Amino acid sequence: MPENLENLLVERDGAVAIVTVNRPKVLNALDSPTLDELRRTILALRHDAAVRAVVITGAGDKSFIAGADINELAQQSPVTGRDHAMRGQHVLDLIENLGKPVIAAINGYALGGGCELAMACTMRIAADTAKLGQPEINLGLIPGYAGTQRLARLVGRGRALELLLTGDQISAQEAHRLGLVNRVVPAADLRAEARKLAVALASKAPVAARYIIDAVNKGLEMPFPEAQVFEATLFGLVASTEDMREGTRAFLEKRKADFKGT
Ligand code: CO8
């Protein structure tokens, strides 16, 4: 794991890594150093084959991530604002395409850049006390970590425009109804539920998981016929893995498969 992390906690629990954004005094707002720590951590997790699933959460019980740090935004110029947005987009792209499942455990406010980060994760589990939204418009801003794009893709254009233009915070239950989060659980159970899901996902065939994430993420940005060819090519590629042999053999031998990621 990267050294000298000041604003992130990174724990290992078997094949699961748990990354906690740890700036509770500012509700875990993302400033530039924190964003850079996330970048370094995600890259390290990508290259660590022993890590098969990741959970991202926020410190404390009040907030997941309350957005980009507004102290920095208040100072930005056109040039630094553009650079900042592109750096954030890059980090979220790394999360989205980590090649292993990343679960956002949304333990409170997921606003602005926090909601954008959650949307870049593979799945989202929210505490029943969580609040989500894109309040940038209330600051005279717009999302800059690709929130306009991911939100519209996740919940549809009309609902995305409503959330973006009102800047309203919505409840976890409403976010679930819209398809913005996958599951809502009692706040006290969030950590355990996120871990349980991460452990379950970590037991699956790693190469197949990577290709599924790739097929969905990249395929959605391609014309349908090309996306089908892409899927078929990945389907052919998994045939070369030891895990495919193990998975099919285990089924026929009526036992649980033991996937190695090869
Ligand atoms: N940035 C910096 N500080 C913050 C942030 C933030 N995003 N959110 C909260 N804080 C600080 C508060 O200033 C306060 O500090 P202090 O104790 O020194 O006064 C502390 O955290 C606690 O917050 P509150 O007292 O406000 O707590 P409340 O319970 O009263 O309210 C809220 C909680 C509703 C979450 C409220 O804090 C809030 O509205 N926060 C701002 C939410 C927001 O607007 N987020 C979007 C930011 S913009 C963004 O994310 C754009 C992303 C893309 C950028 C692209 C690059 C340019």
pLDDT of the chain, 262 residues: tens digit per residue: 788 899 999 999 999 999 999 999 999 999 999 999 999 999 999 999 999 999 999 999 999 999 999 999 999 999 999 999 999 999 999 999 999 999 999 999 999 999 999 999 999 999 999 999 999 999 999 999 999 999 999 999 999 999 999 999 999 999 999 999 999 999 999 999 999 999 999 999 999 999 999 999 999 999 999 999 999 999 999 999 999 999 999 999 999 999 998 9
Q: How many other CB atoms sit within 10 Å of the CB of residue 6?
A: 9
Tens digits of residue pLDDT in 71-92: 999 999 999 999 999 999 999 9
Pocket perturbation via mutation, ligand 1, pick of 27, 73, 76, 166 by most ligand atoms within 8 A of CB: 27
Burial code (b: 16+ CB inside 10 Å, e: under 16) for 223-258 equals eeeebeebbeebeeebeebebbebbeeeeeeeeebe
Ligand 1 residue neighbourhood (C-beta within 6 Å):
26-27, 29, 66-71, 73, 81, 84-85, 88, 109, 111-113, 135-136, 139, 141, 143-145
SS3 67: coil
What's the gap in Å between 64 CA and the centre of ligand 1? 11
- The amino acid present at 137, given as its one-letter code, is I
Choose, from 6, 37, 96, 136, the residue flagged as catalytic.
Answer: 136
In sequence order, the 6+-apart residues with CB closer than 8 A to the CB of 198 are: 16, 53, 54, 55, 101, 103
Catalytic-residue membership of 136: yes
